[in-house]
Structure 1
Amino acid sequence: MISGKPIKVLLVDDSAMVTKVVSHIINEDKELTVMGVAANPYEAVEIMKREKPDVILLDIEMPRMDGLTFLRKIMTQHPIPVVIFSGVAPKNSRNAVKALEYGAVAVLQKPKSILSPEFQETKIRFLEALKGAAASVTGLPLLRRRIHDVSIFAENEITELEKHQKATLLPSRKVIVLGASTGGTQAIEFLMRNIKTDLPGMLITQHMPGEFTRAFAERLNTISKLHIQEAEDGEIVHNNTVYIGNGFYHILLEKEQNTYKVRIKDGPLVNRHKPSVDVLFRSAARQAGPQALGILLTGMGNDGAKGLLEMKEAGAITIAQDEKSSVVFGMPRAAIQLGAAQYILSLNEILKFLNHYTP
């Protein structure tokens, strides 16, 4: 809730059936309320003239004006936290990732049949994403600056030498694990654009639906000197390689005969999330101990805090993002309050730390 009042959600989608189902889900939660429904951006503008929403839930494919165009107008003219609501088609996945570049706080998959076994998990993620977006309102100016900062480096050309470095990957003797939620996609992109090569392998849990994690990884791979991919079960962790956790499963680290491997496992939600940052961090504490570096970035809630503490107790280096550079300070704050973070750093300072960290 915001100041004791329910979070006001404006639903912008041209499907009457979708808006009916989603409105019911939102209004069932005491912390949320649907303050308006619009079939296109023009109707949304008229509603916003009468009352400002706390969060906009925005479809991409709509008549008269598409969601990406409307999102850019919102972020430049009337910044309000926006959550993108998208289908599963490959084109939609790419556009959803593009929406994150334009300033959307999160992307959500349109709910499948309410009779499907996955519906309850989808519902939990859906409500958490809306609440996280509302909590990001104080970080919106920061998010807009971050987008501008990232655009300065837009579409970096990867040189032939850097392509060669990507292709010559050795098994990693150390490992970096990173967790993030609301605001994390933009923070991760900032790091990946500007990070050096010659780093240990990195495993990332970003709270994001599984329909979009592959497109997110592919996008990052085009702008980074590191090799970035969606994680696959059983593959060896290599230097200069980043493994983005699949949003359908938990991602874990495993050590087998002195070799680190990625594990992808199904299971219940942990801290209301799958993938969960705590699951990744706890596996790093147990499997890598002092050979690990843990980084907890912006996000709502407390996922990752206890796992980061376990890493610290196992001898790992642990970092939490500071409040000033976080879009939402919930997850880093929870870790700091537990005493889990050896270092509390801004995003720029985290980048500098990584650029001096050796495999």
Structure 2
Amino acid sequence: MKTRVLVVDDSALMRGLLSQLIGMAPDMEVVGAAPDAQTAREMIKALNPDVVTLDVQMPKMGGLEFLERLMRLRPMPVVMVSSFTESGSDTTLKALELGAIDFIGKPRADSGRSMENYGEDLVEKIRAAKGARLRTSMSSSTASPSLSTPTRPGLAASGKLIFVGASTGGTEAIKEFLLGIPADCPPILIVQHMPESFTASFARRLDSLCAPRVIEAQGNEKIEPGTVYVAPGHSHLLIRRGNSGFLTELAATAPVNRHRPSVDMLFDSAAALVGRKAVGVILTGMGKDGAQGLLRLRQAGARTFGQDETSCVVYGMPREAFLIGAVEEQCSLDDMARRVLGAICV
């Protein structure tokens, strides 16, 4: 049975383009296209789509307000379609917090990507959304880090580093993980599959919510305790040895597993240079990026953790890692920070 998709966008040109690209997939059917939230609401009632693509910016009722109502009254898989702007990225991150499964930027003529590649990415995200685990907005986003993340003796002085990879559903999973991490944590390096125009906003959002300092990596920063380094969307994030410790390194080389930044690239760097002093964590995500890298981390003596199926939005990357023996311990997202901190303190 084909996946039934409703396209919601105020631009007639964009509705037509998205409908055409989705309709080219043999396993998908565009059952309707709505110009605004009011029409979309009626179409959802009448057509019962499997997945909705939703414009972030719309007249009358905006995409966020409509999404919030939809997830409260009739939860269903939603893929946000966002502009590549700072305000667009902030709004998109809020949409993911409200329960959207994933997002994709609007196609741009200057992006260097063919429309065929854009269509493949769009269809892949819709497929993942249909099979994803729905969740509602989590109240922990407003929790005080000082109440939930007590310091633990020896964390910062352990000499260990934490490496985290995620994709679909990862923005909220990473936030939940970091809300359980105290300010005096070991250095944490993160790869989240995300376009370059979104990673700076993502880092700022995490920094405002979490006890550790969170920054978008710029390259050549000294890797220090109490700091979280988020890979920029334009480059792989690696580490290298400096005169007095490790430094961040960015590489704008070819995508790995179709991704740049790639989780495998980060984990491979950690396996080669950090070994048993590393802790690897693979969270919710579509595909297999990070699985082989996590295996190499474990083979190098690192502790490795994978998010379990029940708490994943998409049990793809953690599943692939688990199947090849890369995951030493599976655990739920709400227990992940405690387990990782426990591995550091031993």
Aligned position for 2:144: 156
Cα distance in 2 for residues equivalent to 1:309 and 1:121? 30
Do 1:124 and 1:272's aligned partners in 2 also have CA atoms closer than 8 Å?
Answer: no
Contact persistence 1:106–1:208 (CA under 8 A): no
Q: What one-letter code is carried by the residue in structure 1 that aligns with 2:178?
A: M
Are residues 1:95 and 2:91 paired? yes
Structure 1 position 320 matched with structure 2 position 316? no
Partner of 1:267: 253
CA distance in 2 between partners of 1:334 and 1:282 (Å):
16
Match runs of 1:90-169 below 5 Å: 90-113=86-109, 116-119=111-114, 122-136=118-132, 139-140=133-134, 143-144=135-136, 147-151=137-141, 154=142, 156=144
Out of 170, 178, 184, which is 1:192 matched to? Answer: 178
Distance of 1:269 and 1:157 partners within structure 2: 35
Aligned-pair distance for 1:187? 1.2
Code of the residue aligned with 1:59 in structure 2: it is: D
Q: 2:264 aligns with which of 278, 286, 290?
A: 278
Secondary structure, in 3 states, of the residue corresponding to 2:21?
A: helix
Following TM superposition, by how much is the alpha carbon of 1:172 offset from its aligned partner in structure 2, in angstroms? Answer: 8.7
Equivalent residue in structure 1 for 2:293, among 283, 300, 307: 307
Q: Which amino acid aligns with 1:148?
A: M
Q: Matches of 2:160 and 2:62 in 1, distance apart?
A: 45
Deviation readout 1:249-300 (Å, 9 max, x if unpaired): 2222222346212122223332222222111111111121111110001112
Match of 1:340 in 2: 326
TM-score, normalised to structure 1, is 0.87
Q: Is the 8 A contact 1:179 1:297 kept in 2?
A: yes
Task: Say whether the 8 Å CA contact 1:183–1:326 is kept in structure 2.
Answer: yes
Residues 1:289 and 1:333: Cα distance change in structure 2 (over 3 Å): same
Instruction: Note the C-alpha offset of 1:358.
Output: 4.5
1:324 is paired with a residue whose SS is helix
Letter of the structure 1 residue corresponding to residue 96 of structure 2? L
Establish whether residue 55 from structure 1 lines up as the match of residue 43 from structure 2: no
Tell whether the 8 Å contact from 1:108 to 1:208 is kept in structure 2 after alignment: no
Contact persistence 1:135–1:300 (CA under 8 A): no
- Cα distance change of structure 1 residues 195 and 91 upon mapping to structure 2, 3 Å threshold: same
Q: 1:72 to 1:267 in 2, by over 3 A?
A: same
Q: 1:256 aligns with which of 232, 235, 242?
A: 242
Whether the 8 Å contact between 1:121 and 1:269 is mirrored in structure 2 is: no
Aligned-partner SS, 1:213: helix
Tell me the residue number matched to 1:83.
79
Please show how residues 222-261 of structure 1 align to structure 2 within 5 Å.
Answer: 222-257=208-243, 259-261=245-247
Q: Aligned Cα RMSD in Å?
A: 2.3
> 3-state DSSP class of the match of 1:222?
helix
Q: Report the Cα offset of residue 232 of structure 1.
A: 1.0
1:68 shift after superposition: 0.3
Deviations 1:18-50 (A, max 9, x none): 222222222233343322211111111121112
Judged with a 3 Å threshold, the aligned counterparts in structure 2 of structure 1 residues 25 and 264 are, in CA distance, closer, same or farther, namely farther
Counterpart contact for 1:55–1:134, Cα < 8 Å: yes
Instruction: State the one-letter code of the partner of 1:341.
Output: V
2:11 — aligned with what? 15
Q: CA deviation at 1:244?
A: 1.2
From 177, 184, 199, the counterpart of 1:213:
199
Listed as ranges, the gaps of 5+ residues in structure 1 are none
Paired with 1:129 and 1:334, the residues of 2 have a C-alpha distance of 18
Matches within 5 A, 1:20-59: 20-59=16-55
- CA offsets 1:65-108 (integer angstroms, 9 cap, x no match): 10000010111111111121111232222111111221112222
The whole-number CA distance in structure 1 between the counterparts of 2:158 and 2:233 is 24
1:180 corresponds in structure 2 to: 166
Whether the 8 Å contact between 2:304 and 2:328 is mirrored in structure 1 is yes
CA deviations over 1:324-344 (Å, ceiling 9, x no partner): 111211111111110111111
- Find the partner of 1:204 among 174, 181, 190: 190
Deviation by residue 1:110-143 (Cα, 9 ceiling, x = unmatched): 1101x7523465444433322222221xx21xx2
* Structure-2-length-normalised TM-score: 0.90
Mapped to 2, the partners of 1:90 and 1:312 lie a distance apart of: 38
Question: Equivalents in 2 of 1:122, 1:260: separation in Å?
Answer: 37
Task: Tell me, in whole angstroms, the C-alpha distance in 2 between the residues paired with 1:198 and 1:181.
Answer: 26
Q: Answer yes or no: is the 8 Å Cα contact 1:201–1:237 preserved in 2.
A: yes
| Contact kept? 1:200, 1:358, Cα under 8 Å | no
1:29 aligned counterpart, secondary structure: coil
DSSP-derived class of the 2:138 partner: helix
Aligned: 1:65 with 2:55: no
Number of residues of Structure 1 aligned to a counterpart in Structure 2: 338
CA distance in 1, matches of 2:227, 2:145: 18
What is the aligned partner in structure 1 of residue 315 from structure 2?
329
Do the aligned partners of residues 231 and 127 (structure 1) sit closer, same or farther apart at CA in structure 2, a change above 3 Å counting? farther
How has the CA–CA distance of structure 1 residues 278 and 128 changed in structure 2, closer, same or farther, with 3 Å as cutoff?
Answer: farther
Output the CA distance in 1 between the equivalents of 2:47 and 2:194. Answer: 29
- The structure-2 alpha-carbon separation of the partners of 1:246 and 1:123, relative to structure 1 and needing over 3 Å to count, comes to farther
Note closer, same or farther for the CA distance 1:330–1:266 as it changes in structure 2 (3 Å cut): same
